[in-house]
Amino acid sequence: MKILVIGAGGREHALVWKLRESQHMEEIYGAPGNAGIAQEAECRPVEVSNPAAVLELAQSLGADLTVIGPEAPLVAGVVDEFEKAGRWIVGPTKLAARLEGSKIFAKEFMRRHRIPTARFAVAERFDQAIRALDDFREPVVIKADGLAAGKGVVVARRREEAEAALDAFMRQKTLGAAGERVVIEECLKGEELSFMVLTDGRAVVPLAPAQDHKSLLDNDQGPNTGGMGAFSDEAMLPERLRSEILRVIVTPTLAGMAAEGVPYRGFLYCGLMLTAEGPKVLEYNVRLGDPEAQAILMRLRSDLVDLLLALRQGQLGAVDAHWTPNPAVCVVLAAKGYPGAPETGQVISGYEEAEARAGVKVFHAGTRVVNHQLVTAGGRVLGVTAIAEDLAAAIERAYAAVRKIHFDGMHYRTDIGAKGLRRLPLEPRPPNRLRVPNPRITGSLGVT
């Protein structure tokens, strides 16, 4: 098979790396890719948010399968263009992608289908938003409605911070059109969990659980980012909790989309808060998380193309994903200035030595080659990912590799995975061949 992966970040590098292992792989392409992807695939330029351009590239390459990494092409409707042309692509349609493309749509969808989430209010004008703050205690969460590359969420601990965030989004237009409308919601307390599934709209294959680290600094301090690291460990998700999430969140989400005439197919990401009242949805994403994908795909032992073939053939309910029980940790190395305006062009050294260590893979995000040297080309530069027999060993292995790498202005969190070390195991570690049940969505909404 000829496989095309769309995107230029660490998630896309991880997808290329995993898809390249497939027994079905004949040729693999990345578009536009980055310096790391270029080491494993042939890279081609493309405007990822232009559906016609992405389709034209896939047709010119004769791609048998196209996998979309980031959200922007999905929200723009690239899947619709491929479906009209009869070409195989993994991802939801433009209407289904509203689950991520509009925070307001997602919250109102959850309310319609009684999916547990934080109490919220919607505001379309600045004065309306200021008045809505009166109905919430601090801390309060301010969310821009549209796509904002991980920068559209502010957790305001004081009223003044909330008003400043609203002013920035709605009056100063710091996020452009994405911040013209906002969601204001209560700040949930608990532990965060990234729960992802692959689905054909009826059957689901749950992926390994993960936890992202959104805040820039240690101990969840500083501004929100696109993600400063993640870890994946089965100990964070007892079977009873997995079943509850599937029952109260995933199943009604897919059934609700089908009932509204918009079947959902592809990767579905449920960002959850595990509260005292049970799991609640913080956000939906319509693709794999980044950097969660790096840690999760390190643990996947199934052929990823086999899973995607089952999705296309309507046989997803008959397959399982198999995972190593060994935990994986991804530490993001960021450029100076991130998550604001990052400094670029800094020479990166030591990455080859880091990747030569056992159990380590360095996924590239913001990198390119200039004059035969690897240099920084974005805010999140590298995702140093390690796998080991237990979480403590995976953390140590990842940070030992991090210490081999250098570029001017490099910064990273030093506590990725620490929450997992503090958590007592709730269930025995699963066997090497972990089998996850594949529930099918059934019920009065007519999805079978």
Q: Are residues 34 and 126 in the same domain?
A: no
**C-alpha to C-alpha distances, 77 to 51, 88, 325, 351, 407, nearest whole angstrom:** 6, 14, 37, 36, 37
pLDDT, tens only, 71-129: 999 999 999 999 999 999 999 999 999 999 999 999 999 999 999 999 999 999 999 99
Q: Are residues 329 and 252 in the same domain?
A: yes
pLDDT at 435 over 60: no
Q: Are residues 359 and 216 in the same domain?
A: yes
Side chain identity at 316, as an amino acid letter?
Answer: L
Evaluate whether residue 288 is within a structural domain: yes
Evaluate whether residue 139 is within a structural domain: yes
Q: Are residues 160 and 260 in the same domain?
A: no
Q: Are residues 209 and 161 in the same domain?
A: no
pLDDT at 428: 42
CATH of the domain at 146: 3.30.1490.20
Q: Domain boundary residue among 137, 165, 186?
A: 186
Q: Are residues 179 and 198 in the same domain?
A: no
Residues 6 or more apart from 444 whose CB is under 8 A from it? Answer: none
Q: Are residues 126 and 152 in the same domain?
A: yes
Evaluate whether residue 132 is within a structural domain: yes
Split into its structural domains, the chain has a count of 3
Evaluate whether residue 114 is within a structural domain: no
The stretch 422-436 carries a mean pLDDT of 46
Evaluate whether residue 59 is within a structural domain: yes
Residues 6 or more apart from 212 whose CB is under 8 A from it? Answer: 192, 194, 227, 229, 230, 271, 289, 291, 292
pLDDT at 437 over 50: no
Q: Domain boundary residue among 91, 109, 134?
A: 91
Q: Are residues 364 and 234 in the same domain?
A: yes
Q: Are residues 289 and 417 in the same domain?
A: yes
Q: Are residues 264 and 329 in the same domain?
A: yes
pLDDT at 249: 98
pLDDT, tens only, 120-141: 999 999 999 999 999 999 999 9
pLDDT at 275 over 60: yes
Query: Domain range holding 222?
Result: 191-422
The stretch 238-253 carries a mean pLDDT of 97
Running DSSP on this structure, what letter comes out for residue 429? P
CATH of the domain at 286: 3.30.470.20
Taken in order 146, 91, 257, 316, the sign of the CA dihedral is negative
Tokens of residue 333, six digits? 């190395």
pLDDT at 148: 86
Evaluate whether residue 171 is within a structural domain: yes
Q: Are residues 177 and 87 in the same domain?
A: no
**pTM over the 0.95 mark:** no
Evaluate whether residue 153 is within a structural domain: yes
CATH of the domain at 49: 3.40.50.20
Q: Domain boundary residue among 49, 74, 91?
A: 91
Running DSSP on this structure, what letter comes out for residue 37? G
Q: Are residues 81 and 140 in the same domain?
A: no
Evaluate whether residue 263 is within a structural domain: yes
More confident residue, 77 or 226: 77
